[in-house]
């Protein structure tokens, strides 16, 4: 079955149309016995014979049956043992996230939050089934009514299961892989968190999270944690930095990421991190990318400084009123007096020099003597280590725009040209040589046309199959098995083509001899040239022409080489034509036609068989006797 030709039915399902195609199989829209729409994924014919591919499909079915969530496409049916293995899943009428963003642009802020929440819910269900998806990306997320649906577990695997990929190999889309997959180290469920954040980044910006350069540059950016977070909306950057942490242990779990996602607010540009792991040894708690010391002996309890539950004391200080057990640690930061900061005066900067930034606040001024009024205090300027959630960032000069990612030059497609002028020059050379050596060149042209037909029937069909469904290990075997049939087809076509070319040559001979007054032997030489041309130009000569064109396009790989070969062949053709017009033909290994025809006519008169049909048969038989193939002339 061709990848572009869908069967009418497969199993109990009727296939309506093709929905998509990947490296392993084709997805069709189908109807079950009750008329409900389903998605049927069928392996490619050349993949179905691969045991590892069947194993991967079996694992996909087993994996998807373990997951129970409205955010994941469930398996309806499967047949993994038939000639065409397939699985049937619930059909989701919609577009993939990749198609939506490429066609309509990035999602709105609300759409990004809905996508992130839905994908986190799907990831929680996937991880609860002890499964790692390993291929979360925009092409594997459907948007159905604005809600995400995770599909395609083709390379997912159970936690601690035996990996099917070889050492040093990885499967997936490079731009959405976690660093540990590229390093070929232990892969945990944190890899899915990394891929989820990369997918959300694409939905919010319409760009690849780690650039769109070469494969090596993208992998380097992933390993170094160089995501283009600054291109994302400000309210989403903190969430992305947490989930895209290069180290797997620094990323939150799917459940923790879901809680962080539900607290996202486009109106708040500063991200508040919350604990996502329980305290270790009663001391250090691991936050999303931050370690905070929580020593019970010192009485440090977590509480927010700027948020609900915080009130002012009698002297203006802030007192925490949060209930016990709150897992916020913002009260470990020093208290801050909230005063509207003034815009700092910009100092002129020297070109290509950066002003050093003080690592600590300036020294406190000396207090004036008691009872004397001192100078007014300078306006408060918060430092980065004193900012908390809800406080606006100071207005500073915007950072320089990030450098555009390296865009490699697009790889040029291989040079392929049919070279019609070169093919015409080759035919002109062959026709001119037929005028000089009519018998030898005519026999060579018949054999060449036969071989070209065999090659076209074999290699042409093989190239068409490869263009449709890709290369396969069975192609050499199919070529060997198809050789006898190709020989039979080519032989039959040649048997029909040669008499047609002979009749064309006789018409040319009659025209030159009776209408043009040319002597019989030179007219016969022109007739031989017409015979050679007819093998390729008359009806039935399409297969040899296509074989010649395919050969030229394969051998000549650049325009310069094509020009050089064309000039060289054109020069040879010119000299061959000039020689054919001025020199007499050589009829070896046969006799000149006038001599041979006189002898044949005399023999036929003696036998009383001097008819046109017998004359033609006698000429052909005499030629076959001269070249050693007289045993083929069964009519004599």
Question: What are the catalytic residues?
Answer: 135
DSSP symbol at 494: H
What is the phi/psi pair of residue 452, to 5°? -65, -35
Cβ-contact 366, 372 below 8 angstroms: no
Among 175, 220, 213, 214, residue whose Cα is nearest residue 194: 175
Return d(Cα 167, Cα 355) in angstroms, integer: 49
DSSP string, 122-187: HHHHHHHTTEE-----GGGEEEETTEEEE---TT-EETTPPP-SPTT---S-GGG--HHHHHT---
Q: CA 446 to CA 540: how far, in whole Å? A: 13
CA angle 415, 463, 549 (to 5 degrees): 50
What backbone phi and psi angles, to 5 degrees, belong to 606?
-65, -35
Name the phi and psi angles at 76, rounded to 5. -95, -40
107 phi-psi bin (left φ>0, alpha ψ -120 to 50, beta other):
beta
52 is in an annotated binding site: no
Given the structure tokens 């700027």, which residue do they identify? 306
| CB count in 10 Å sphere of residue 134 | 21
Query: CA end-to-end span of the chain, whole Å?
Result: 51
List of E strands, 466-520: none
Cβ neighbours of residue 518 closer than 8 Å, sequence gap 6 or more: 512, 526
The DSSP code sequence of 62-111 is HHHHH---TTBPPEEEEE-SSSS-EEEEE---SEEHHHHHHHH-SPPHHH
Give the three-class secondary structure for 204: helix
Between strands 95-96 and 25-31, the pairing is unpaired
Binding residues, by number, are 41
Binding residues for ATP, by number, are 41
């Amino acid at each position: 079955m061709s990848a572009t030709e869908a069967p009418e039915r497969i199993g109990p399902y009727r296939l309506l149309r093709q929905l998509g195609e990947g490296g392993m199989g084709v997805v069709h829209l189908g109807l079950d016995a009750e008329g409900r729409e389903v998605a049927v994924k069928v392996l490619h014919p050349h993949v179905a014979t691969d045991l590892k591919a069947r194993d991967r499909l079996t694992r996909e079915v087993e994996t998807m049956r373990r997951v129970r969530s409205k955010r994941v496409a469930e398996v309806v049916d499967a047949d993994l043992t038939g000639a065409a293995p397939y699985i049937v899943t619930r059909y989701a009428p919609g577009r993939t996230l990749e198609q939506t963003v490429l066609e309509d642009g990035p999602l709105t802020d609300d759409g990004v939050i809905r996508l992130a929440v839905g994908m986190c819910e799907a990831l929680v269900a996937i991880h609860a089934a002890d499964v790692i998806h390993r291929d979360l990306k925009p092409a594997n997320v459907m948007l159905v009514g604005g809600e995400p649906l995770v599909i395609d577990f083709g390379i997912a695997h159970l936690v601690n299961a035996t990996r099917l990929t070889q050492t040093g190999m990885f499967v997936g889309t490079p731009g959405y892989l976690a660093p540990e997959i590229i390093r070929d180290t232990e892969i945990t469920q944190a890899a899915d968190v990394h891929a989820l954040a990369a997918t959300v980044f694409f939905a919010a910006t319409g760009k690849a999270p780690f650039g769109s350069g070469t494969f090596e540059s993208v992998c380097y950016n992933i390993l170094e944690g160089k995501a283009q977070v600054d291109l994302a909306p400000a309210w989403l950057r903190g969430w992305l930095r947490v989930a895209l942490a290069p180290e797997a242990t620094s990323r939150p779990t799917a459940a923790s990421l879901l809680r962080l996602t539900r607290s996202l607010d486009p109106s708040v540009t500063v991200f508040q991190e919350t604990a996502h792991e329980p305290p270790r040894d009663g001391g250090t708690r691991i936050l999303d990318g931050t370690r905070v010391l929580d020593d019970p002996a010192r009485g440090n309890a977590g509480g927010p400084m700027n948020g609900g539950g915080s009130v002012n004391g009698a002297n203006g200080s802030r007192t925490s009123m949060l209930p016990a057990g709150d897992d916020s640690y913002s009260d470990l930061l020093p208290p801050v007096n909230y005063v509207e900061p003034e815009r700092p005066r910009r100092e002129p900067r020297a070109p290509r020099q950066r002003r050093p930034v003080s690592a600590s606040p300036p020294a406190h001024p000396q207090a004036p003597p008691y009872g004397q009024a001192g100078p007014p205090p300078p306006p408060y300027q918060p430092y980065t280590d004193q900012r908390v959630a809800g406080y606006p960032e100071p207005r500073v000069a915007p950072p320089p725009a990030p450098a555009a990612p390296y865009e490699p030059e697009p790889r040029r497609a291989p040079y392929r040209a049919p070279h019609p002028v070169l093919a015409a020059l080759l035919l002109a050379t062959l026709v001119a040589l037929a005028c000089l050596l009519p018998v030898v060149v005519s026999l060579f042209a018949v054999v060449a046309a036969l071989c070209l037909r065999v090659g076209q029937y074999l290699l042409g069909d093989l190239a068409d199959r490869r263009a449709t469904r890709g290369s396969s290990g069975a192609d050499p075997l199919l070529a060997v098995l198809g050789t006898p049939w190709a020989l039979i087809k080519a032989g039959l076509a040649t048997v029909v083509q040669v008499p047609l070319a002979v009749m064309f040559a006789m018409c040319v001979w009659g025209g030159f001899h009776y209408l043009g007054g040319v002597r019989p032997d030179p007219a016969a030489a022109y007739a031989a040239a017409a015979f050679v041309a007819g093998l390729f130009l008359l009806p039935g000569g399409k297969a040899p022409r296509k074989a010649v064109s395919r050969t030229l396009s394969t051998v000549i790989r650049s325009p310069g080489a094509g020009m050089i070969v064309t000039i060289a062949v054109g020069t040879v053709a010119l000299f061959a034509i000039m020689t054919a017009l001025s020199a007499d033909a050589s009829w070896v290994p046969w006799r000149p036609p006038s001599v041979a025809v006189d002898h044949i006519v005399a023999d036929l008169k003696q036998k009383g068989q001097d008819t046109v049909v017998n004359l033609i048969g006698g000429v052909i038989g005499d030629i076959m006797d001269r070249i050693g193939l007289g045993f083929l002339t069964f009519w004599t």
